[in-house]
Amino acid sequence: MKHIAFLMLAGLISSGVAMAHDHEDEHDRAEHFEGKQAETLEEAVANFSEGNQQLEELLASEELSSEQMGELHMLTYTLENALQKIAEEGESMAVSLEEVHLGSEMLDQERVATNGADYLEAARTLVE
């Protein structure tokens, strides 16, 4: 059941990121920023954590200045990149976990050990 919930969460995250990018195309914007890229899950989690902290600090202001709105705008690109990488890695984790599940049904210790190690490496990155 947790497996299904995780897949649903990953799907929602990735569709939300896709919708945000589709929304971007609908409007003419003065400038577009790339934001920090996340090549690995570790980078994505770090960018996500740091970005959320920055967002929280910006939103703590009673009123956002134009400069702060610009910072916030640029920050959303980094957060979107992080969420997209986390969603991609989440899908990979779900595949590894399913392999553990199927391997356990077949009593295939090698399949369980290999896929279990892959799954746990990524899972630890998300929760530690």
DSSP letters for 56-89:
HHHHTSSS--HHHHHHHHHHHHHHHHHHHHHHHH
Residue 56 falls inside a structural domain: yes
Q: Angle 54-55-61 (CA atoms, 0-180°, nearest 5)?
A: 100
Residue 32 falls inside a structural domain: no
Structural domain count of the chain:
1
pTM of the model: 0.73
Residue 12 falls inside a structural domain: yes
The pLDDT of residue 11 is 54
| Confidence tier at 127 by pLDDT (50, 70, 90) | confident
Residue 104 falls inside a structural domain: yes
Are residues 17 and 44 in contact, defined by beta-carbon separation less than 8 angstroms?
Answer: no
Task: Quote the mean pLDDT of the chain.
Answer: 84
Domain that holds residue 110: 2-27+39-127
pLDDT digits (tens, 9 = 90+) for 30-53: 456 788 999 999 999 999 999 999
117 C-beta neighbours (distance < 10 Å), count: 11
Q: Which of these, 6, 20, 19, lies nearest to 77 by C-alpha position?
A: 20
Tokens 């920023």 found at:
33
